[in-house]
Structure 1
Amino acid sequence: MIFDLFTIICCVAAFLVSLISIFATPFFRILSIVPRIQSSNEDEERATEYPPVSIVLYSHDLAHELEHNLSLFLHQNYEGTYKVIVVIDKGDAEAEDILKRYAHEPHLYTTYIPDTSRYMSRKKLAITIGVKAAKSDWVIITAPTCRPADSLWLSSIARKCRIDKNLVVSFTQYTDNTTTLKRFYHLLTESYLLRRAFKGIAFNTDSPCVAFRKKDFIGGNGFLGNLQYNCGEYSFIVNKYAAFKTTAIHLDSAHPLIEDFTSPKAWKHKRLYYNAIRHALLRRHSYHAMFNFDMTMLHLSLLVNITLIILAIIIQNWIVAGSSAFMLIIWIFFHTLFGKKAANHFGVEISVGSIVPLLIYVVWYHLLLMIRLHAADKNDFTTHKL
């Protein structure tokens, strides 16, 4: 009788923790809203008005990327009017030479950051200057390290700039030579963020491409409230200006914006920057609580099933060993299935066999980032004087 009770308790425990873990994943949650996002894409394509749009690019030590990608922004097949506003540092001779070669382009407008600017994030200042230079209400900010996959990218994202929205968050794809870990981490993070934007109030974005209304940005005093940080421009715009159900999601794997990390250092800095500013973001507690719950259940279910298998083999309880092994296989299958389906919807190439190992690794990678942040110089993330 004691043995039977032990068997029942073990089998029920394996079943419950595995079941909870299977559904406590951002991939399962994002799959529930992707069909609705795609349905809205079809509706918008049938009845589209193309608003005037301004694209703001800031080039600082990115002359090579600007030269390589600028023409792709300038030659969009867009039925509405648009301008590409390039902001550069005054005296950046290399960037100035590149822009002189494109001076004949009707869609190009160039402006400068003055030499006298001090004690403020130059990127935030550049974005502010670019937004003020825009003649359109809708402004898209992105980076020279990004490039449109084709000439229909602008039309694709502009369809989201509807009258009932004030913000558009996008999903950028990574270049083919990006490591699987980076592609997976980006997909996982955006699965949390895009679902939250769809369901309520957007919290953040992991992609350097945000569209917003100029009147909101100017009326809200731009980056006022987080000027002490020299990073997190896209995060702060989404976090500050998002409202309930007013954020549209641009998810179009046929016409994406492709993001390129010029070096491993750029990726490392992107992750460290978020951890440095996370405490300044509104609505962060519920986001981190969900992530922590998912990761806890993921590791708990793995630990419970493996422990029960080992223990059952030692005491030769083959019912417990078999049921725990079965639940572990089911656990692996569904996590892989949901992850692969999400990757396919987002146009992300991830091998089937890497999904579960990467899921397990994510929480340890988070821990590594926190250790690196603790060891870093905190002045690297601030403007010092503010």
Structure 2
Amino acid sequence: MLILDNITIVICIILVVFAICSSLFDTFFRKLSDEEDADGVENQKPVSVIIISDNNGRELDDNLKCFLSQDYPAGYEVIVVVSRDEDGTSDVLNSYSKYQNLYTTFVPDTSRYMSRRKLAITLGVKAAKNDMILLTDAVCKPNSDKWIASMTSKCRNGVSLVIGYSNYSDDASKFKIFSRLHREYAFMYEASKGIAYSTCGNNLLFRKSVFMEARGFQGNLKYVRGEYDFLVNKYSDFGNTAIAISPDCMLIEEAPSRKTWKNKNMFYVETRKHLLRSFKHRLIFNMDMFFLYICLLFAVSSVIYSVLCYNLLVIPFSFIALVVPFIVRILSAKRVMGLFNTHVSLWKVIPFELALVWHNMKSAFRYRMSDKYEYISHKS
């Protein structure tokens, strides 16, 4: 039975509005703007690649050669800074002694009251001979031998900070890969439209002169993690930040263990408390999740209402509120996954997006139940 009254009109209007908002607020619906690289090899400058190793002897043995075999005519050095060596990392580094552009340094065992990883980065930057610094971790490897060239090509027109994309290898769980893509895409979109908020990757280019002038990690050295977050949040400004999304710019990170994945998310809950512009970033994500859920719940509720009240006019609008946002979200995710060469089945997109908020809540709950002193360095 078709009933056209005020309640029916209001319900139909709300369904259409929710369908539109759910589509427009989708993180993947927004498009990144990535300028074409215009600079040629004649404008390239020498680079210092800093790799942080924290008991990563096996990963270094697997990945270091990829960094040492980059195609970059301007020349580069690779500095491996060992934060901890309890697994024979030194022996691995000794096996690469034939490479003339490889240098190593170690964080002193007596270092205390500060993050060893942030100290490792600081030591690496101070040891660097070049102003351009490319920072990453031993658990990563370049997707191409043009990684350095592609990242440095973005460092022009006043740009002093370049955020490159990285994600887990294909043997990681699909949800972890999707979650990483979703968060990193949101970060990159913010960076492309103004001041960057953060990054969840480990693929960063910045200038030594800027880092030293602003006194590096001053103000947050005591926090155990968040080194990439603090670098981006502190040093990004209007006009000085670029994103790098071409396949040559990407890094592939080893699939994290369950413990590593859990700790990474818990440490981020602590880190974001100390970042500037955190409210704005979280508001955008929360609006995305709000309209995704409210559209789904209202559409289902309206179907139940139409059946109980024999008001069939509401059903097609409920169908629109259910199907249209899902189609838009799936197509947008497909476009983004193609852009970043990420492989997740399209039928998993909606379930994974629905799971993101619950995953974040679980990480926040674990953080609240944990000892807060675990996130602050007391001694090493």
1:191 aligns with 2:191: no
- 1:260-339 mapped onto 2 (5 Å cutoff): 260-339=254-333
Give 1:172's aligned residue: 166
Residues 47 and 147 of structure 1, relative CA distance in 2, 3 Å threshold: closer
1:43 aligns with 2:73: no
Moved over 4 A (4+): 89-93
1:141 aligns with 2:135: yes
Matched residue type, 1:8: I
How far is 1:253 from its partner? 2.2
How far is 1:127 from its partner? 0.6
**Secondary structure at the counterpart of residue 349 of structure 2:** helix
How far is 1:3 from its partner? 4.8
State whether residues 48 and 159 of structure 1, in contact with CA within 8 Å, keep that contact through their aligned partners in structure 2: no
In structure 1, the gaps of 5 or more residues are none
Give 2:145's aligned residue: 151
How far is 1:375 from its partner? 1.1
2:54 counterpart (51, 60, 63): 60
**Secondary structure at the counterpart of residue 43 of structure 1:** coil
Give 1:19's aligned residue: 20
State whether residues 46 and 130 of structure 2, in contact with CA within 8 Å, keep that contact through their aligned partners in structure 1: yes
Give aligned-pair identity as a percent.
Answer: 36
Provide the C-alpha distance between the structure 1 equivalents of 2:11 and 2:277, rounded to a whole number of angstroms.
Answer: 38
State whether residues 261 and 267 of structure 1, in contact with CA within 8 Å, keep that contact through their aligned partners in structure 2: no
Q: Deviations over 1:263-310 (max 9, x none)?
A: 121111111111011110011111111111111111111111110011
How far is 1:146 from its partner? 0.2
Matched residue type, 2:243: I
Residues 161 and 42 of structure 1, relative CA distance in 2, 3 Å threshold: closer
State whether residues 293 and 354 of structure 2, in contact with CA within 8 Å, keep that contact through their aligned partners in structure 1: yes
State whether residues 79 and 104 of structure 2, in contact with CA within 8 Å, keep that contact through their aligned partners in structure 1: yes
Residues 243 and 89 of structure 1, relative CA distance in 2, 3 Å threshold: closer
Provide the C-alpha distance between the structure 2 equivalents of 1:326 and 1:221, rounded to a whole number of angstroms.
Answer: 54
How far is 1:93 from its partner? 7.4
Provide the C-alpha distance between the structure 1 equivalents of 2:332 and 2:103, rounded to a whole number of angstroms.
Answer: 44
Range with bigger deviation, 336-345 or 124-133: 336-345
State whether residues 141 and 252 of structure 2, in contact with CA within 8 Å, keep that contact through their aligned partners in structure 1: yes
Range with bigger deviation, 191-200 or 157-166: 157-166
Provide the C-alpha distance between the structure 2 equivalents of 1:151 and 1:242, rounded to a whole number of angstroms.
Answer: 27
Range with bigger deviation, 14-23 or 154-163: 154-163
State whether residues 299 and 318 of structure 2, in contact with CA within 8 Å, keep that contact through their aligned partners in structure 1: yes
2:217 counterpart (210, 213, 223): 223
Give 1:86's aligned residue: 80
Residues 256 and 323 of structure 1, relative CA distance in 2, 3 Å threshold: same
Q: Number of aligned residue pairs: give it.
A: 379
State whether residues 115 and 224 of structure 2, in contact with CA within 8 Å, keep that contact through their aligned partners in structure 1: yes
Give 1:7's aligned residue: 8
Provide the C-alpha distance between the structure 2 equivalents of 1:364 and 1:90, rounded to a whole number of angstroms.
Answer: 34
More helix by share: 1
Give 1:376's aligned residue: 370
Q: Deviations over 1:309-335 (max 9, x none)?
A: 111011111110122113311121111
State whether residues 196 and 203 of structure 1, in contact with CA within 8 Å, keep that contact through their aligned partners in structure 2: yes
Residues 89 and 5 of structure 1, relative CA distance in 2, 3 Å threshold: closer
State whether residues 199 and 245 of structure 1, in contact with CA within 8 Å, keep that contact through their aligned partners in structure 2: no
Residues 300 and 48 of structure 1, relative CA distance in 2, 3 Å threshold: farther
1:124 aligns with 2:125: no
State whether residues 138 and 212 of structure 1, in contact with CA within 8 Å, keep that contact through their aligned partners in structure 2: yes
Residues 212 and 255 of structure 1, relative CA distance in 2, 3 Å threshold: closer
How far is 1:384 from its partner? 3.1
Q: Deviations over 1:39-82 (max 9, x none)?
A: x23434x5762221111112121111011111111111111110
Q: Deviations over 1:340-371 (max 9, x none)?
A: 11111121111110111111111111111111
Matched residue type, 1:206: C
1:105 aligns with 2:106: no
